[in-house]
Structures are given as C-alpha cells and as structure tokens.
Amino acid sequence: MYLIIRENKEAASAYVANLIIERIKQFVPTRTRPFVLGLPTGSTPLGVYRILVEKYKAGEISFENVVTFNMDEYVGLPRDHPESYHSYMWRHFFSHVNIHPSNANILDGNAPDLNAECAAYEAKIEAAGGIDLFIAGMGQDGHIAFNEPGSSLASRTRPVTLAPDTIVANSRFFDDDPAKVPQKGLTVGVRTILDAREVVAIVLGAQKAVALHYCVEKGVSHMGTLSALQLHPCARIVCDEDATLGLKVGTVKYFKGIEQDAPAPALRAPAIHVPSRTPSPIFDSMGSRMADPMPIPAKTKLLNGHANGLTNGFTNGCTNGHTNGHTNGHTNGHTNSHTNGHTNGHTNGHANGL
C-alpha cells in the first residue's frame, strides 16, 4: 500500500481523476471488453467527478466503453430522492458523460429481497470480468463503503445497519437531522473491494487524520476497514496535507520518498472464447445478434473432416482388431495343439512301455 500526499484537496482530486483517465486509456476498452470501474459517493469524490466531466467535455476521455459499480446505497430511500446514491451519481457524473445507462450499476435499496439483490450484484461484477480499478472514500472512523467498524474483512456485498457515527456524519445531507438518515444500507464487502485489481482511496481533511493514522500506522483491523488495503498488492491512499496531521513525520517523509515506486496493476487479459459443440447464435453484451465468426463453408469443411476422421478411425480400428485377433488366435491354437499332442503322446507311450 502506498500513501500519495498532495498539498491540498484540489491537487489530490486531480491526481485521482488523472489516474482514472490514464488507466482507462492504457486498457483500450471496447464494447465487448469494457473497463470496469468501482465508484464512491459522498463529499470527498466530488472534485474527482468534476475534473472527469471537464476532461470528457474537452475530448480527453470517453466513458462509452466503461462499466461502473457503485459501492453502496441506502435501504428504503426512493431512487429519485435527492440524497439517494442513484440521484447523486446521475447529478454529479453520469448525466454529464457518455456512459451507457445500462453500464452504470448501483445497488437497489428498494429491492423486495435485499439478500438476493446483493448476491446478484456480486455475480454481475464477476460476469463483467471483475473490477479493474476501485475508487473509494473513508469515513471519519476509518470505514470504507458501508463496512462499518466490526465488519468482517472477508465480507461480500450485503445489507448492513449503519453505525451511529455514520448516521450523524451523513445527517449534513438530510437537513442536519439524524432522524431523517436511513438506518440501513447495502454495501460491497471488504473482500469485494480487495478483489479489485487496483484500489485507490481518497482521504481529505483534518477530520480524517486520526482514522488515517490508525489505517496506515497500525495493523490491519476490522475496526477500521480501510486498513485492509495494507493487504492489497496494488493499493494507494491519496490524501491532502491536512489528512496527514495524525501521522508521524517519519511516515510522511518515507511515503513521499517512495511515491514513484507505486506499482501499476497488470492489465486484464482478453477473455478466451471456447466455441460450443452445438452451433448457436452469438450475442454481444447489449443482447444484439452478431455474425458467426466462422463462415459456413469453412465450418462445414471442419465438421466433415472431423466426422470422416472419427469414421475412418473407428472402421480401421475394428478391421485391424478383428484381423489381428483371428490370425493370432489361429496361430496360437495350432501351436498349442501340436505341443500338447506331442507331449501327451510321448508321456503316455513311455508309461505304457514301462
């Protein structure tokens, strides 16, 4: 895990936004092989989204072949409520770029079966090829997403009860009234986040300094779930100077000195297509039927060659087996008969003479 320190929140936000753009361009996504991006909400990433929108409008980046998965959502809050994370994402990011609506995935906090909704979300992440880059925030108690203190580090996407500190902190979005904040939420798990090929958490402000100290300078703990990034081979925490106020001077100096050594993740390999034995229609990710990649004449020739090979192999095998079996049986039978007759005659004659 690497700590990337910038002078202020604007510089930290710019670092994260530029990293997202760099990773997407390196990946060279296509419609059938999109880049998969995990996204947070809250006040911390607003600067990142603003820069991404500016870069998109300037023609520097496209989100046409990007699939996103958000980290969490409130339970019971209508989707069109101004403080739902659906509303947040469309207001601050999605509606300003060229992402396809079907590629923007957010948990449904009003699903009739919340456990089934969470299981389906995990399955959808896996079907997309896994998350290439997960952007995260951190709460004042060190939590990541809605993985409150005490959450299992092996947790997956699931329903959770929000901690009192989270409810109080989020009440600033609900007229400063904790009673208006939903008590429950849906969240990706700590393990879900760690499964991403790269994780970048952004931490801003002096109010996060104590939590950052525990997550960076102390051991991995379920009481501060951001600390689990210590276990990830390609994780970064990007922060401003104010957020480092709780860190030792030596820690800050050390991380500033090794920033250039922060590793980049290995790019996800393209999926290998294994054709089925029975020819079937091929569909793209949007459900449209695509042309069969193998022309009919070539496919027919291939199938006929395969069939002839099987037939000839079977025929020759049976014929040769029968012929060899007959010849060997005849030879062995003649030899055994001659030998046994000679032996028995000699023995009996000798006995009678005596």
Edge-first strand order for the sheet with 184-187 is 72-74, 184-187, 158-161
- Catalytic site residue 148? yes
Contacts of 189 (CB under 8 A, 6+ apart): 147, 151, 152, 154, 155, 156, 157, 158
Of 239, 248, 182, residue with least CA distance to 208: 239
pLDDT of residue 291 exceeding 60:
no
Please give the pLDDT value at position 264. Answer: 87
- What pTM does this model have? 0.76
Residue of 148, 195, 198, 240 marked catalytic: 148
**What is the per-residue pLDDT across 24-76, written as a single tens digit (0 to 9) for each?**
999 999 999 999 999 999 999 999 999 999 999 999 999 999 999 999 999 99
**What is the per-residue pLDDT across 79-122, written as a single tens digit (0 to 9) for each?**
999 999 999 999 999 999 999 999 999 999 999 999 999 999 99
pLDDT of residue 320 exceeding 70:
no
Tokens 């607003």 correspond to 46
The average pLDDT across 212-241 equals: 97
Residue of 143, 195, 198, 213 marked catalytic: 143
The burial class, CB within 10 Å (0-12 / 13-18 / 19+), for 291 is exposed
Q: How many CA atoms lie within 13 A of 232 on its CB side?
A: 31
Residue of 141, 195, 198, 240 marked catalytic: 141
Please give the pLDDT value at position 290. Answer: 40
Q: Does 2-261 carry CATH code 2.160.10.10?
A: no
- Catalytic site residue 284? no
Using pLDDT thresholds of 50, 70 and 90, give the confidence band for residue 270: low
Please give the pLDDT value at position 268. Answer: 79
The SS3 call for residue 186 is strand
Using pLDDT thresholds of 50, 70 and 90, give the confidence band for residue 271: low
Mean pLDDT, the chain, whole residue set: 84
232 near 1, Cβ under 8 Å?
yes
